[in-house]
């Protein structure tokens, strides 16, 4: 059973469900009702609450848990690494022109910054926008040419990003380096320590071994 936090535009060839479970208790009830024998946590690296709920539920039920997660991007010497989005908003200097590439649900810390200009990019329109700036709706992957043109067009001075890892959005970091743009990188949250793999093939092998 594939569980999705939101809707997807692509049809799925396997059974799936959409929406939250209602915390740990809701997840426990669902796992019991479905007779599930294990959980793969394949959520976004910053979906800390769901990862914690999966950990708590499997510990309670004594079920196996696997995390499928791509590795983070290795830090570059000129990056300014910060603990969270709140710190990212604080260290962004006045009059900066910021490319806020963190998703529509993660811009809250910047809503009070009325002395900077923000370009926000997301798949879904943000509910609210920073006081000054512009929003673009785009879906990854992004090419280097696209990112260079976007940053040049909007005269970006700072790029704020979560360290999500992967190749789909890595071009923005290459573009920032090429243009001399300051990168403010939000570190991943601390998650419970569990067995972790980086590829789908490894996760499939884990599932196959559950039957042994």
Asked if 54 contacts 65 with a C-beta cutoff of 8 angstroms, the reply is yes
Q: How confident is the model over 88-111, as a mean pLDDT?
A: 92
Q: Which domains does the chain have, with CATH numbers?
A: 2-70+190-210 (3.40.50), 80-186 (3.40.50.1380)
CA distances from 11 to 15, 16, 19, 45, 123 (A): 11, 10, 16, 24, 18
Q: How many CA atoms lie within 13 A of 175 on its CB side?
A: 22
**What's the pLDDT at 9?**
60
Q: Closest Cα partner for 65 from 90, 40, 92?
A: 40
The pTM (predicted TM-score) of the whole model is: 0.86
Taking the chain, what is the end-to-end CA distance rounded to the nearest angstrom?
A: 20
Q: pLDDT of 44-78, one tens digit each?
A: 999 999 999 999 999 999 999 999 999 999 999 99
Beta strands 195-197 and 182-186, pairing class:
unpaired
Using one digit for the tens of pLDDT, what is the confidence trace for 135-189?
Answer: 998 888 899 999 999 999 999 999 999 999 999 899 999 999 999 999 999 999 9
């Amino acid at each position: 059973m594939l569980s999705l936090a939101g809707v997807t535009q692509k049809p799925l060839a396997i059974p799936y469900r959409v929406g939250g479970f209602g915390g740990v208790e809701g997840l426990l009830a669902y796992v019991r009702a479905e007779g599930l024998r294990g959980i793969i946590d394949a959520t976004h690296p910053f979906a800390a609450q769901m990862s914690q709920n999966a950990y708590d539920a499997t510990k309670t039920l004594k079920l196996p848990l696997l995390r499928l997660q791509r590795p983070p991007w290795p830090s570059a010497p000129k990056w300014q690494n910060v603990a969270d989005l709140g710190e990212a908003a604080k260290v962004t200097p006045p009059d900066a022109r910021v490319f806020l590439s963190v998703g529509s649900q993660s811009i809250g810390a910047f809503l009070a910054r009325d002395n900077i200009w923000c370009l926000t990019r997301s798949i879904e329109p943000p509910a609210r926008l920073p006081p000054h700036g512009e929003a673009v709706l785009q879906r990854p992957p992004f090419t280097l040419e696209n990112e260079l043109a976007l940053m040049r067009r909007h005269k970006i001075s700072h790029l704020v990003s979560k360290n999500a890892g992967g190749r789909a959005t890595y071009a923005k970091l290459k573009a920032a380096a090429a243009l001399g743009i300051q990168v403010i990188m939000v570190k991943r949250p601390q998650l419970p320590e569990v067995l972790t793999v980086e590829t789908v093939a490894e996760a499939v092998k884990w599932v196959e071994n559950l039957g042994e």
